[in-house]
């Protein structure tokens, strides 16, 4: 626990609890814009271990037209990495990060989805705009018994001047996962500010690193730019649900 009476703000690395469980990362090799090969994956994982992580869930993009991944391709990438588990001494598991579109409904119908903890689906929304049928997709997928975690809500600039939309997503039962590096300004000042506002309004349930490369690891050495540090520390503990 970080000492709140200290004058300057803590570094991101200083608020990571020992045994932290990361539910969002791109450490699986050669499958999306994350780790290029097993060597890079192992470097990232050993750095995450040094930061205090005890478990890393690799969540490659499933993004029609860009990263055409599926259960098989993700499992294959995971297996190419897990062979070396003895050398990284940290638990590694796999999930996926689904770009939300109507294909998700079809995948859910066929039970062809990689979930986290049995029934959580990690989804992302495009950075330009949310799909017109966003709420219909959420409704239909939830109806099939899945829980939806929206990745990095603080990065969707089209919600910044429309903050009530976040409450609307909460009202339909979505969980929010904040990116840790948003707290230190990785995505700019506006994203840090919105992160703080989301934390203050108790809208964030989980956090993730969204680590793609070593550059992202370096952000853990930067100081927090937010005010609501105590609240985010509690949120970090909530990731224990995914043990």
Q: Residue numbers of the site for Fe ion (CB under 5 A)?
A: 97, 210
**For Fe ion, which is the closer residue by CB, 216 or 225?**
216
25 with 78: CB under 8 angstroms? no
Closest approach of Fe ion to the CB of residue 97, in Å: 5
Closest approach of Fe ion to the CB of residue 211, in Å: 9
**For Fe ion, which is the closer residue by CB, 196 or 210?**
210
**For Fe ion, which is the closer residue by CB, 9 or 207?**
207
* Beta-ladder partners of 67: 63
How many whole angstroms from its chain centre is CA 45? 15
Closest approach of Fe ion to the CB of residue 22, in Å: 11
Nearest CA to 94 out of 143, 49, 18, 31 is that of 31
**For Fe ion, which is the closer residue by CB, 97 or 154?**
97
Closest approach of Fe ion to the CB of residue 162, in Å: 23
Residue for token pair 């910044």? 160
User: Which residue has the CB atom at the shortest distance from Fe ion?
Assistant: 210
* Beta-ladder partners of 149: 122, 175
**For Fe ion, which is the closer residue by CB, 22 or 228?**
22
28 with 242: CB under 8 angstroms? no
Closest approach of Fe ion to the CB of residue 86, in Å: 27
Token digits for 99? 């770009």
Q: Could you give the maximum distance between any two Cα atoms of the chain, in Å? A: 54
């Amino acid at each position: 626990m970080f000492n709140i009476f200290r004058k300057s703000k803590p570094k991101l690395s200083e608020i990571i609890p020992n045994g932290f469980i990361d539910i969002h990362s791109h450490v699986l090799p050669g499958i999306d814009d994350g780790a290029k090969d097993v060597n890079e994956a192992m470097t990232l994982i050993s750095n995450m271990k040094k930061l205090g992580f005890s478990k890393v869930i690799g969540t490659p993009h499933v993004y029609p037209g860009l990263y055409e991944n599926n259960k098989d391709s993700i499992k294959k990438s995971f297996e190419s990495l897990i062979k070396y588990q003895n050398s990284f001494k940290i638990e590694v598991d796999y999930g996926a990060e689904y770009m939300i579109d109507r294909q998700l409904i079809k995948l859910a119908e066929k039970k062809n989805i990689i979930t986290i903890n049995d029934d959580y689906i990690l989804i992302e929304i495009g950075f330009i705009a949310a799909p017109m049928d966003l709420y219909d997709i959420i409704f239909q997928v939830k109806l099939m018994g899945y829980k939806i975690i929206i990745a990095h809500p603080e990065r969707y600039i089209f919600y910044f001047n429309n903050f009530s939309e976040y409450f609307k997503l909460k009202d339909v039962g979505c969980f929010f996962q904040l990116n840790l590096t948003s707290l230190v300004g990785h995505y700019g000042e506006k994203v840090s500010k919105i992160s703080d506002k989301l934390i203050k309004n108790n809208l964030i349930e989980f956090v993730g690193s969204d680590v793609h490369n070593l550059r992202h690891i370096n952000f853990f050495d930067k100081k927090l730019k937010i005010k609501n540090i105590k609240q985010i520390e509690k949120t970090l503990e909530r990731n224990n649900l995914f043990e």
